[in-house]
Structure formats: C-alpha cells, structure tokens
Amino acid sequence: MINKKTGQRELAYIAKITKITPIEGADSIELVTINDGWVCIAKIGEFKVNDLCVYFEIDSKLPQKEWSEFLAPKHYKVKTMKLGKFGVISQGLALPLSAFDIDLSNYKEGDFLTEKLEVVYSVEEDNKRKAKNNPDAKINAALARHPKIAKKYGKIIKKNKFFKFLFLIFFGKKKDAQNWPGHIASKTDVERVQNMTWVLKDKNPYVATEKVDGSSFSVMAERKPFGKIKYYICSRNVVFEDENQKCYYDENIYFEAYNKYNLKEKITQILNDYHLNNVAIQAEIFGPSVQKRNYSLSKREMRVFHIVSNNKKFSMDKVVEICNKYGLPHVPIIDDNYILPDTLEELQSFVESEGSRIDGKEKEGIVFYDKKTGEQYFKFVSPNFLLKYHQ
C-alpha cells in the first residue's frame, strides 16, 4: 500500500478481514480476504469476518522474532505462493494483533507498521534501490570525479567513516546528492488494485498499458536564467551527476539509456517545441541484468510511460503522439478504452489473457491510466508472473 504522505510503499499495516473462504480438502487452513482485495491463507478459526489483523504485503521480509519464527524455513520472506495440492494462490500474510511481542490494541485500521515491526523488502537490492534517499549518494558522486582513486581505494573509503569524512571534505561538492526535482515530476510508484478494489465500480473507460518488468528512469529538463537548460538523469530515487556515478547495477543503466536514445537532444526539442518551462520523460528500462525477466533481449531497451510538466502528466494519447513524433518507444497499449470488470478474478483473466507485446511471453501485468489526466491510477500484477519470476 502506498503511503500518501511519504509516497513510499508500506509493507505492513492494520487491515480488516472481509471474507473467509474454505479450501476444499483442507482441514487446517482457509483463505482470508483482506480489505476486499488481497487473499492469503490462515489457520482455520484464527479470524472472524471484520476482525482486524496485521497484513504483510508480498515482497516483505520479517525480522527474526519469536512471533515470526514459523517463517524461518522461508528466510522470513513473504511471497506469492501457490498451494498446488489445493489449487489456490496466497498473496501476503495476515496475523492477529495478539500475535506480537508489542501491544497493538490501540492501533486502528489503516495504520502503518512497516518501521515499527522492522519489516523490509525481501530482496536486499530493493532496500537500497527503493529507499527514500541513497545514503551513499554524496560519496559516490565525489568518487565518480576521481575514478583512479575510486578504483583503487573506493571500497575502503566508503567503509571507513573517518576516510569517508576526509574524502568529502577535500573532494565533495555542494551539488552532490541533488534532491529529486519534485517540482517537475513525482516519483513513479503506483498503487495495486488489491488496495483499492472500490475502483471496480467505476465504469468510465481507462487506458490499459503493459507493465514492463524493469527499473524506472526519469530524464528532466528545466529552463534556467540566461537561456540555460538544466538536465536531470534519475533512477527511482537518485539524481546522477555523471555516467561514472555508480548505481545498483554493474553499469549505470540510466546514462546508458540516456545516451542510447539521444534523450538530451529529444527532451530539449520537446521543451522548445511545446514552449514548456520544464518537462520530464519517465520510462522503464528492461532487459539483461535488470530483472529476472529479460524479454529475450541481448541489449537493454526502454519504454516511455509518462511525459510530465510542472508535475502535471500528459494524457496517454499525448504521450503516444510525442513519442511517435520524436522516435521514442512507449509502453504497449493493450486497450485505450477499457471498461473495468466487476471482480478481481475477471481482471486477472484480462491481464493474463495474452502474453507480452514485447516478446510474446508472460507479461508482468497491466497499468491502468485515467484517459483524461494521464494519471497512473492503479496496476494489476499477474500472480502467475510473480510465481515464475519473483521467488
């Protein structure tokens, strides 16, 4: 669930049991539905409808505590799980409020517990890549300006607090670790439909686009005094100073895409041709070494999903128009006039009804956009995709 105050995903929170479903042939477990969305297994009789629980979303890693010891064989990770014997899929984990070594009786539905319960992402890289700020951003930027020193002594400098302090005193710059330019565009998290099932009642048309399994990437351009233009090359959270600055991949895949698609020239053309003060191109980078799903590619590619100015997103029709005009690849459009079904089961069937428009194999999911505003409204990620690629 996305925390609207911070813009960050919360992995643990107080939720309500809204439905209990027996599992045919099972004598000790049943399915519980969380807030009319997520479905996971629980012990028979552990919950009643309308009970509050602590719900842990998929991708969570629990701390090693007495209350979580039963997950030790799974390394304390909460993942999408298929119980083949019973033919059901479980996503997440629900525990009673009384299961913990701290008093949760004063908490109410919707309260976030990610930090309090010391829950982190199950994939270590995600804890760094999706953090609010990169704690190594300043030292990485300083080292990037001195590649010979970085190559020989970089690891030692970063590990030793005193050496790190001295290096930043002599070689650091104020512009290092630039803040995310939030006045141009917001970050790219989007809520899962399981956390907002009420939207299924909305029968206005949506634009359905393929969700590409990769790493989000933003390029921004902003007019400055005296005709200067400032450019930003960003990962999900980090603004990079130059292409030598390290990222969470072996190579800086963001500068690679920036150069490969000639984005400096193209974003400048968009800025000028549309008479904008600032503009952002937001895209997904995918292919070899980015995620487990490499789309049968030998080289990485990108697909644009947002074009933004002054934090206002362009409609998807406008995104497609601009991409076609300047030779930029955009996310595949599955349906530009999609009416939502009444149930999550029907939505899953739609999502999984065809393979990826990129290589024909399993697609990660679909992102649904408001036709008028271009807002990334919600997404549905295929459980079967997660079972295959994110375990």
What is the tens place of the pLDDT at every residue in 254-286?
A: 999 999 999 999 999 999 999 999 999 999 999
Residue 183 lies in a domain: no
Give the range among 177-181, 203-207, 298-302 with minimum mean pLDDT.
Answer: 177-181
Q: Between these two residues, 328 and 126, which has the higher pLDDT value? A: 328
Q: How far from the centroid of its chain's Cα atoms is residue 285's Cα?
A: 13
| pLDDT for the residue numbered 124 | 65
Q: Between these two residues, 154 and 40, which has the higher pLDDT value? A: 40
Sign of CA dihedral 185, 186, 187, 191: negative
Average pLDDT of the chain, as a whole number: 89
Please indicate, yes or no, whether residues 79 and 209 belong to a single structural domain of this protein: no
pTM of full prediction above 0.85: no
Residue 371 lies in a domain: yes
Instruction: Identify the domain boundary among 122, 153, 185.
Output: 122
| pLDDT for the residue numbered 210 | 97
- Is 196 buried (19+), middle (13-18) or exposed (0-12) by CB count in 10 A? middle
Please indicate, yes or no, whether residues 89 and 206 belong to a single structural domain of this protein: no
Please indicate, yes or no, whether residues 357 and 327 belong to a single structural domain of this protein: yes
| Residues 236-251, mean pLDDT to the nearest whole number | 78
As a whole number of angstroms, the distance between CA 276 and CA 268 comes to 10
Name every residue whose Cβ is closer than 8 Å to that of residue 293 and which is 6 or more positions away in sequence. Answer: 213, 286, 362, 364, 385, 389
Range of the domain at 151: 137-171
Q: Given a cut of 90, is residue 326 above it in pLDDT? A: yes
How many domains are there within the chain?
A: 3
| pLDDT for the residue numbered 173 | 66
Please indicate, yes or no, whether residues 287 and 374 belong to a single structural domain of this protein: yes
**CATH for 79:** 2.40.50
Please indicate, yes or no, whether residues 149 and 239 belong to a single structural domain of this protein: no
pLDDT band (50, 70, 90) for residue 175:
low
**CATH for 320:** 3.30.470.30
Residue 28 lies in a domain: yes
Residue 294 lies in a domain: yes
| Residues 330-358, mean pLDDT to the nearest whole number | 96
The answer to whether 351 and 380 have CB atoms below 8 angstroms apart is yes
Please indicate, yes or no, whether residues 362 and 237 belong to a single structural domain of this protein: yes
Residue 127 lies in a domain: no
Strand partners, 212: none
Please indicate, yes or no, whether residues 238 and 328 belong to a single structural domain of this protein: yes
Please indicate, yes or no, whether residues 312 and 222 belong to a single structural domain of this protein: yes
| Residues 225-230, mean pLDDT to the nearest whole number | 92
Please indicate, yes or no, whether residues 359 and 301 belong to a single structural domain of this protein: yes
| Residues 363-387, mean pLDDT to the nearest whole number | 90
Please indicate, yes or no, whether residues 145 and 204 belong to a single structural domain of this protein: no
What backbone phi and psi angles, to 5 degrees, belong to 368?
-110, 130
Please indicate, yes or no, whether residues 311 and 347 belong to a single structural domain of this protein: yes
Sign of CA dihedral 214, 382, 36, 48: negative
CB-CB neighbours of 152 under 10 Å: 11
Residue 177 lies in a domain: no
- From residue 160, how far is each of 20, 139, 142, 154, 171 by CA, in Å? 53, 12, 15, 10, 16
Q: Given a cut of 80, is residue 248 above it in pLDDT? A: no
pLDDT tens digits, one per residue of 123-150: 766 655 555 555 566 677 677 677 788 8
pLDDT tens digits, one per residue of 4-61: 887 788 999 999 999 999 999 999 999 999 999 999 999 999 999 999 999 999 999 9
| Residues 226-249, mean pLDDT to the nearest whole number | 83
Q: Given a cut of 90, is residue 344 above it in pLDDT? A: yes
Residue 63 lies in a domain: yes
**What are the E-state strand segments in 254-364?**
278-286, 301-309, 312-313, 333-338
Please indicate, yes or no, whether residues 147 and 77 belong to a single structural domain of this protein: no
Q: What angle do CA 39, 40, 46 make, to 5 degrees?
A: 115
pLDDT band (50, 70, 90) for residue 214:
very high
Strand partners, 196: none
pLDDT tens digits, one per residue of 282-324: 999 999 999 889 999 999 999 999 999 999 999 999 999 999 9
Tell me what percent of the residues of the chain surpass a pLDDT of 90.
69
Residue 178 lies in a domain: no
